[in-house]
Amino acid sequence: MLKTGIFSDQEIAYWVRNNQLGASQELELTRAVVDFKGSPLTGVIRTALRELHGNPPIPGDDIYL
């Protein structure tokens, strides 16, 4: 089992952007990140997930890797 925080938000966002995720994989990733962080999904990870659907970043999210 991996410890929380082993991957940075930027590393996770990079992985999302460079892999084709199905709907169930996207949901599983979102749940895992929220469970590990204990907070809502924001920042570069949320931006990367929104990009999968052609949506722009939410104001305030850091979109740069």
Query: Residue 11 falls within a domain, yes or no?
Result: no
Structurally, how many domains does the chain consist of? 1
Domain that holds residue 57: 17-65
Give the C-alpha separation, 18 to 30, whole Å.
16
Query: Residue 7 falls within a domain, yes or no?
Result: no
Per-residue tokens: 62: 């850091």
Query: Residue 5 falls within a domain, yes or no?
Result: no
Query: Residue 2 falls within a domain, yes or no?
Result: no
Query: Residue 8 falls within a domain, yes or no?
Result: no
Question: Tens of pLDDT along the chain (65 residues)?
Answer: 445 568 888 898 999 999 988 889 999 989 988 888 888 888 999 999 999 999 999 988 876 65
Query: Residue 56 falls within a domain, yes or no?
Result: yes
Which one, of 4, 3, 12, 5, lies nearest residue 43 by Cα?
12
Task: Give CA angle at 60 (15, 11), nearest 5°.
Answer: 15
